[in-house]
Structure 1
Amino acid sequence: MRTRRLSKDNTYLALKERIINIELKPGEAVQEENLAELLGVSRTPLREAIQRLENEDFLVRLPNGRLRVASVTTEEVKEIFLIRSMLEGYIAKNAAKNATEQDIEKLTAMIGNLKMSFQSGKSQDFVSYGFEFHDYLSEISELKTFVKILNQLRDHALRYCRFVSLHGDWNQQADEEHNLILQKIAARDEDGAEKAMQDHILSSLSAALERIEGIQAHREDGV
């Protein structure tokens, strides 16, 4: 039983990771047989993984019974990032209140990784380090309910950021925004940290919308 559960969970995580990392593209049709071969698993754990991912809106079951990866839409990204701005703003406020000197050192190291990945043009690494920074703020905020709700959106937000990064680099403003958040937290400026985080996520939303709308326009023009 324990082996079966482990296999089921690993299959779910492996399939979800491929969707988040855009290895399986938004709107792409998928078949159980091909997925089983891709992941090297049997149909039973795969079907359970698919059901979980359908429930989480990463996979969509069409009326004819076929499966596809959930599409990327401007409507969904607006909802996800607006909710994030409210939740993560308050998380940053509490992180500023709770952060120890050791926390500030860890956050500073994360900002260093962010800056290095930005300067070297490694956009996917920039996304990874950015989420590491956000996740650590969630941890030190000690807001269990806020973080629990945020975690339901986290992987969807990560998928959008990965998607955007595949179609161009983030601008310098995104790098500077992380620096400002850290400055406010280090200064114990709770209200400043909250506003800096909200502004950062809303700025990321604007960038995501611009990129997604541009991609959609090119597709409609047949480019």
Structure 2
Amino acid sequence: MVPKRRLTKDVAYYQIKQKIIYGEFNPDEVVREEQLSEMLEISRTPLRQALQMLEMEEFLIRQPNGRLKVASITKEEVEEIFQIRSMLEGSIARNAAANASSDDIKVLTEILEKLRQAYHFGYSQEFVAYGNDFHDYLAEISGLKTSVKLLSMIKDHANRYCHFVSMYGKWSNQVDEHALILEGIKNKDGAFAELAMKKHILSTLKDVINRIEDKANSKIGNTVD
């Protein structure tokens, strides 16, 4: 049997990370142990273990005064993350095109339709989730264990940036981009699928950077006013 304390730590870790990814905790917001302990209804010891894990993953940053704050949203970080993604996921798409069966094509088509519906109705959280499902399925059928493992190390940080954009409905051609990737998979054209995936990831990067810049300019405008 797994000790209860370990389970509590893991649950707290997951819940806090989700709140950071989905924007319930804002970038640069100070997090206080007493508030988190009350919110999650757990004791300080497992909470501190969870916070240490999130600090190691750089979702939380320790300040000089010892307090923890939510990591900032920065252009430098997102550029690095998405450049890495474009290379890894491009290779994954190429291999998925070679391996995809007719059943795999059917599953991907169904996910794409759900993505389209989420976009149509403005369901931002579902939109990101279905996008993840699409990418995860390609990773599963690619057979590239090392690439998939490396990708998993940055996935949650990437999701945080994706949700940061989806909150404001500023995606550019996301559904069409996924459709192009699927076209390459259907035709077993690995080169086409790889190129379409890389263009999609870099398009997402552009959306995120535009949103970061919009927010920065908005802050400057408010300061001037």
Q: Is the TM value for this pair above 0.5?
A: yes
What's the CA shift for 1:128? 1.1
Query: TM-score, normalized by length of structure 1?
Result: 0.97
Give the corresponding residue for 1:128: 129
Residue type of the alignment partner of 1:95: A
Distance 2:40 2:168 in 1: 26
Per the alignment, residue 75 of structure 2 pairs with 74
Counterpart of 2:165 in structure 1: which amino acid? Answer: V
User: Residue in 2 aligned with 1:179?
Assistant: 179
CA contact (8 A) 1:178 1:200 kept: yes
C-alpha contact 1:123 1:169 (8 A) present in aligned 2: no
CA contact (8 A) 2:122 2:169 kept: no
Distance 1:7 1:123 in 2: 29
Pair 1:216-2:181 in alignment: no
Structure 1 SS opposite 2:69: strand
Q: Deviations over 1:63-107 (max 9, x none)?
A: 110110001001101001010000000000011011111111100
Q: CA deviation at 1:147?
A: 0.6
Q: For residues 169-210 of structure 1, give each alpha carbon's deviation from its aligned partner in whole angstroms, at most 9, with x where no partner exists.
A: 423x11100000001001100111000000000011011101
Q: State how far apart, in whole Å, the 2-side matches of 1:125 and 1:170 are.
A: 14
**1: CA distance between counterparts of 2:40 and 2:141?**
35
**Structure 1 runs, 4 residues or longer, greater than 4 Å off:** none
- Give the residue type in structure 2 aligned to 1:144: K
Work out whether residues 121 and 169 of structure 1, in 8 Å CA contact, stay in contact via their aligned partners in 2.
Answer: no
Give the aligned partner of residue 93 of structure 1: 94
Segments of structure 1 that go 5 or more residues without pairing to the other structure are none
Instruction: Give 3-state SS (helix, strand or coil) of 1:163's partner.
Output: helix
Alignment length, in residue pairs? 222
C-alpha RMSD over aligned residues: 1.1
Report which stretch shifted further, 2-11 or 187-196. Answer: 2-11
- Contact 2:27–2:73 at 8 Å: present in 1 too? yes
Q: Give the alignment's TM-score, normalised by structure 2.
A: 0.96
Work out the CA distance in 2 between the residues paired with 1:122 and 1:15. 22
- The CA distance in 1 between the partners of 2:185 and 2:165, in whole Å, is 28
Matched residues in 2 for 1:46 and 1:2: separation? 15
**In 2, Cα distance between equivalents of 1:170 and 1:122:** 12
More displaced 10-residue stretch of structure 1: 123-132 or 100-109 = 123-132
Distance in 1 between residues matched to 2:69 and 2:168, nearest whole Å: 21
Deviation at 1:124, TM superposition (A): 2.3
Q: Match for 2:67: what amino acid?
A: R
Task: Say whether the 8 Å CA contact 1:160–1:208 is kept in structure 2.
Answer: yes
Equivalent positions of 1:55-74 (< 5 A) are 55-74=56-75
